[in-house]
Amino acid sequence: MVTPFSISSSSPFLSPTKSLRSSSSVKVTKAPPLHFLHSKRLLSVSVTSSVQKSDTDSPPLPPKVETFWQWLRDEGVVSAKAPARPAVVPEGLGLVAQRDLSRNEVVLEVPKRFWINPDAVAASEIGTLCSELKPWVSVALFLIREKLKNDSPLRYYVDILPEYTHSTIYCAGQKRSWLNFKEPNF
């Protein structure tokens, strides 16, 4: 089985690309991870090769992740025929393929109605209040507002977001120059 997307808290930041060969001589490539935000640790998304395990070998999903996955099913984002399922893998939380995936096969599509971006904020109830703000600030305010609303249509997604992050966006002065960091220009 292949883990198409794996979120890892033990990420090798700037790890070199590695090529692995499976027993069937199909070349599987491990790419350097893309980093995301997570409480107290960096998360990475990477393509990895895994030995197929039965569902009983995998640790159980956190309840909020199970609820989120069910919400995705209820909203028609994923179906019972989805080629992947969420699972806890050695690299962290990820999507694990249920079968071999074809090249360029769509694993999951997020409908535009669930996109959280500056356009979604502009169309929301707080859009006029956020119109003069930087786009990333307006998105952050939108997420905070959705988290505080008990009846948010995005409740199950917002519930799985981390409370804290160590993003490079919080670096200042000398640390920022070491990273050659530039503020996001959305």
Where exactly are the structural domains of the chain? Answer: 2-97, 112-178
Give the global pTM: 0.59
Cα distances from 172 to residues 54, 133, 165, in angstroms, run 46, 21, 15
User: What pLDDT does 90 receive?
Assistant: 83
Exposure class string for 146-157: b at 16+ Cβ within 10 A, else e: beeeeeeebebb
Q: In angstroms, rounded to a whole number, what is the distance separating the alpha carbons of residues 78 and 112?
A: 14
Q: What are the average pLDDT values for consecutive 10-residue runs of the chain, which has 186 residues?
A: 43 34 35 40 44 61 93 91 89 86 90 94 95 94 94 92 71 62 59
User: What pLDDT does 19 receive?
Assistant: 32
User: What pLDDT does 140 receive?
Assistant: 94
User: What pLDDT does 183 receive?
Assistant: 60
User: What pLDDT does 168 receive?
Assistant: 66
User: What pLDDT does 176 receive?
Assistant: 58
Nearest to 95 by CA among 85, 106, 83: 85
User: What pLDDT does 38 receive?
Assistant: 38
Facing residues of 27 across strands?
21
Helix (H, G, I), strand (E, B) or coil at 83: coil
